[in-house]
Amino acid sequence: MMMNSNGKGQYSGNGHANAYGSDMQERQVSIKDYIRVLYKARWVIIISFLLVVISTAYYTFTTEPVYEATAKLMIEEEGGMAQSMFDLTSMMKKETMINNQVEILKSRTLAENVIRDLMASEYADELRYLGNSPEGKEKKPGIIASTRSWLAGLIKNKDDHGLEVSEEDDFDRYVAGLRGSINVSPIRNTDMINITVSAYSPFEAAYVTDAVANAYRRMNQAQSKDEVRQVKNFLEDQLDQYRRELSTSEEALKNYKQEAKLVALDQETEELVRKLAEFESLYNGAKTDYQANLKRLEYINGQLQQKQGNFDMESISSQPYLQELKKQIAEKESQLASYMASMAEIGAYDQIKNEIQLRERQIDAVKEKFKQEVTKIAASGFVDPSIVSTSLFSSKIEVETELKSLEPKVKALGEIVAQYSKDLESLPAKSLQLARLVRKAQVDEKIYIMLQEKFQESRITEVGQLGNVRMIDPAKEPKFPVKPKKKLNLILGILVGLGLGIGIAFVMEYMDNSLRTMEDIEILGQSIIATIPFIKPEGSNGALSKFKQLEDAEAQDISERLVTHLRPKSPISESYRTLRTNIMFSNPDKEIKSIVITSSGPKEGKSTSISNLAITFSQMGTNTLLIDGDLRRPILHKLFNLDKKNGLTNVLVGRANLDEVVQRNPDLPNLDVLSCGILPPNPAELLGSQQMRRLLTEAKEKYGIILIDTPPTIAVTDSSVLAPLVDGVLLVVKSGGTQRDAFLRAQEQLHRVGAHILGVILNSIQASNVYGSYYYYYYYHYYYGQDGEKKRSKSRRRKAHKKTHPSDQTIREGDA
């Protein structure tokens, strides 16, 4: 629907949707549109802003201050027993090792230990982390806390004897509160960690932070000691066993020499015994290492089982590449044992220590590669990621790898020992027995010395505390709180409040499908012929006394809306006079003498508009005929306090003529009203009849203007039937009440019957809620008082003179 130069509507024929879409494409959204949306929803924005800002301010200034204290720890690389005893190297990268410690610091186990330390401390009665109120005062719970406590009381657990388990619940609550207040952050490119704890007092923040750091150090030391203790206990048992065996073997050798009258072996036999004792000592040492690692593995598996994170090493190491690495380790261990045996045969064993160390380093390199590959495969999904990041995972892989290396080593050394033992069996009986006793004594002695060295080393290691955590900076009491951040909170409150209000405003605008402004209608292809402000019931200064008292409340209300008669000098009356003028100048080529006024839906103000328009025409001396064409729900007879029994239907059925049924009100000269008459069963057929055409022709000869009130266009077809019979149609749109789709359907229906739409009356505008286009009514109100007298204030006269005069507005809207 587009308007031509003279204001006549030309229907495009493509439907209202296409017309609307093309108009939307032609019109671009401007800054004024955004300002209009914000201005219309200004109270929503203000209220949202105030609610958010006030709530933020209340929270900020009533929240108890929170303090934070920080302790700095250094995590040293793991060493101690694992490296000094079995030459194990750490396989985890520094980042992984630090991350392991971070997870331990966040663990529930550590938090439980800290809470136990706090409960046993001298400040237990003062700490808020243990449920104590500040300064020993009883804290009154809020509504939310009281409700939570009441619900907790309803579902509180009980033990087997029906007693409430409150202490355990309190302990769990303390642990959860502490864990939520601990923040652990690694320092980049260092081996250091910051532990930060928040509390409601500076002293408690620093005290609890140090408690967390100390509990972590003890936990780290205890874990290291436990692993070492397993090995030390095993070595102690072995040491006692070999002490007894050494004593027995030495006593047996001594007795045999005395009985057999033998003092020593010959040189060749002595050399054979020496070699056998040397390799048997290496063999027993490897077996001891193997058994010690089994003890370590047993302890580690037990710890992993408690954490439900144990895993099968065989399923991981069965991968082809790992099998190849295991084969290389076995081959290199066997080659080393064979090399040592061959060198011993030629008497060069004591000269190959450097070569042995070189080959052992090569074996260690393969073992390191094996551990790295195992870690990669495990981290790719074979093992729970939470277990991969722990030191237990690292220890298990180290021990398992060492066991994989010791197995072929023990086997190869055992074969060498068996070969030397076979050679020893070829000696004469007496020499053989003596050789056996000498070998047994030498082997027991070497094993006993080796075990004694390792046992002493384990004791030193245990006493030396294998923990790798050092306190660098203890926590210090903070001077200023970190929460609430007053400035930041207020700034965020302001921004969020404005953002929320503006967001709601645009959501409301998006959801609002009603027509509110001139722009809303113009974008749909129709011109605005007049805008009518919202009519407030202000009383009439006795004007209603001109009518007899009405019993119908609806008619009373509408009578108050006859502002052109009751308040002729009001801005609203001037708006109707503007409408009258614009109708007169809407088509210079053809005089407009008959007009149908309709709307898309009910209660949009068409009866009020047509009544006031009729009064304005009569006030300028034009003979005016107002016809109530709503033969379904007539209202004009109530509005003007007239009889409806004889009216339009009487004329249309031929029972009366026009002059017999028109009615006049003595207070409204030049205005004749033709009420509806008796309500017929077929309104549309009567209004479209030839008799209606003859009535309009007759009325045009007697009256200067004919105004016909009709039902809503969408509801019934009455207005569509009458539209082709008159000179023009006015569509009434209630600002904020008429829906866009309904208006388009009404417009399309009128164009289908060839109606000439003069324009749209935008009714019930709340000028105070609209930005940019409706100041005229205020200007006029400044110039005229309600009684029609001019204001005496010179400043207001100057202000009114500078602004648009009503007549100027009339001409401007008439030109539109």
pLDDT tens, position by position, 743-787: 899 989 999 999 899 999 998 887 655 555 445 444 544 554 444
- The number of domains in the chain is 2
**368 pLDDT higher than 70:** yes
Identify the H or E element spanning 395: helix 391-424
Q: Count other C-beta atoms under 10 Å from residue 363's C-beta.
A: 19
Q: Do residue 439 and residue 527 come from a single domain?
A: no
Would 112 be classed as within a structural domain? no
Q: Highest mean pLDDT: which of 24-28, 29-33, 642-646?
A: 642-646
Would 245 be classed as within a structural domain? yes
pLDDT of residue 234: 76
pLDDT: is 96 or 48 the higher one?
A: 48
pLDDT of residue 255: 72
Q: How far apart are CA 494 and CA 498, in angstroms?
A: 6
Q: Which of 772, 760, 765, 775 shows the shortest CA–CA distance to 534?
A: 765
pLDDT of residue 540: 44
Q: Do residue 263 and residue 408 come from a single domain?
A: yes
Q: Do residue 721 and residue 647 come from a single domain?
A: yes
Q: Do residue 541 and residue 399 come from a single domain?
A: no
Task: Please state whether beta strands 2-3 and 182-186 pair in parallel, antiparallel, or not at all (unpaired).
Answer: unpaired
pLDDT digits (tens, 9 = 90+) for 538-569: 544 444 444 444 455 555 565 567 888 888 88
pLDDT of residue 258: 60
**50 pLDDT higher than 90:** yes
Whole-Å CA distances, 801 to 788, 808, 813 = 17, 11, 19
- For residue 794, what pLDDT band results from cuts at 50, 70 and 90? very low
**585-607 average pLDDT score:** 87
pLDDT: is 761 or 570 the higher one?
A: 761
Would 422 be classed as within a structural domain? yes
Q: Do residue 401 and residue 534 come from a single domain?
A: no
Q: Do residues 91 and 182 lie in contact, with contact meaning Cβ atoms separated by under 8 Å?
A: no
Q: Do residue 603 and residue 685 come from a single domain?
A: yes
**361 pLDDT higher than 90:** no
Q: How far apart are CA 556 and CA 545, in angstroms?
A: 12
Q: Highest mean pLDDT: which of 23-32, 341-350, 401-410?
A: 401-410
pLDDT: is 422 or 86 the higher one?
A: 422
**331-336 average pLDDT score:** 80
Would 466 be classed as within a structural domain? yes
pLDDT of residue 549: 46
Strands (E), 606-735: 624-628, 663-664, 671-674, 705-709, 728-734
**631 pLDDT higher than 70:** yes
The answer for residues whose C-beta is within 8 angstroms of residue 372's C-beta and 6 or more apart is 91
**93 pLDDT higher than 60:** no
CATH number at residue 600: 3.40.50.300
Q: Do residue 541 and residue 460 come from a single domain?
A: no
Percent of the chain residues past pLDDT 90, beyond the cut: 21
Task: Please state whether beta strands 182-186 and 192-199 pair in parallel, antiparallel, or not at all (unpaired).
Answer: antiparallel
The residue length of the chain stands at 816
Percent of the chain residues past pLDDT 70, beyond the cut: 70
Q: Do residue 678 and residue 614 come from a single domain?
A: yes
pLDDT of residue 559: 57
Would 11 be classed as within a structural domain? yes
In three-state secondary structure terms, 353 is helix
Whole-Å CA distances, 475 to 75, 179, 331, 502, 596 = 17, 18, 54, 46, 87
pLDDT of residue 90: 40
- For residue 498, what pLDDT band results from cuts at 50, 70 and 90? very high
Q: And the tokens for 770? A: 């609209």
Q: Do residue 465 and residue 532 come from a single domain?
A: no
Q: Do residue 609 and residue 716 come from a single domain?
A: yes
pLDDT of residue 787: 44
Would 139 be classed as within a structural domain? no
**109 pLDDT higher than 80:** yes
pLDDT: is 506 or 431 the higher one?
A: 506
Would 192 be classed as within a structural domain? no
pLDDT of residue 58: 92
**22 pLDDT higher than 80:** no
**Of the candidates 473, 506, 540, which is a domain's last residue?**
473
Task: Please state whether beta strands 705-709 and 624-628 pair in parallel, antiparallel, or not at all (unpaired).
Answer: parallel
**370-389 average pLDDT score:** 65
Q: Highest mean pLDDT: which of 440-454, 528-542, 559-573?
A: 559-573
What 3 state SS string does 37-85 have? HHHHCHHHHHHHHHHHHHHHHHHHHHCCCEEEEEEEEEECCCCCHHHHH
Q: How far apart are CA 397 and CA 293, in angstroms?
A: 11
Q: Which domain holds residue 776?
A: 2-27+523-815
Q: Which residue has the tokens 């209630």?
A: 734
- For residue 75, what pLDDT band results from cuts at 50, 70 and 90? confident
Q: How far apart are CA 506 and CA 508, in angstroms?
A: 5
pLDDT of residue 290: 82
Angle between the N-to-C axes of helices 267-306 and 429-463, in degrees from 0 to 180, rounded to the nearest 10: 40
Q: Do residue 553 and residue 439 come from a single domain?
A: no
**Of the candidates 443, 473, 503, which is a domain's last residue?**
473
Would 599 be classed as within a structural domain? yes
Q: Which of 320, 293, 282 shows the shortest CA–CA distance to 411?
A: 282
* Residue type at position 419: Q
Q: Do residues 455 and 233 lie in contact, with contact meaning Cβ atoms separated by under 8 Å?
A: no
Query: Across the chain, what does the average pLDDT equal?
Result: 75
**240-247 average pLDDT score:** 79
**796 pLDDT higher than 50:** no
**294-301 average pLDDT score:** 78
**111 pLDDT higher than 70:** yes
What distance lies between CA 777 and its chain's CA centroid?
48
Q: And the tokens for 148? A: 């939570």
pLDDT: is 430 or 170 the higher one?
A: 170
Q: Count other C-beta atoms under 10 Å from residue 667's C-beta.
A: 11
Q: Do residue 548 and residue 454 come from a single domain?
A: no
**Of the candidates 444, 473, 502, which is a domain's last residue?**
473
**267 pLDDT higher than 70:** no
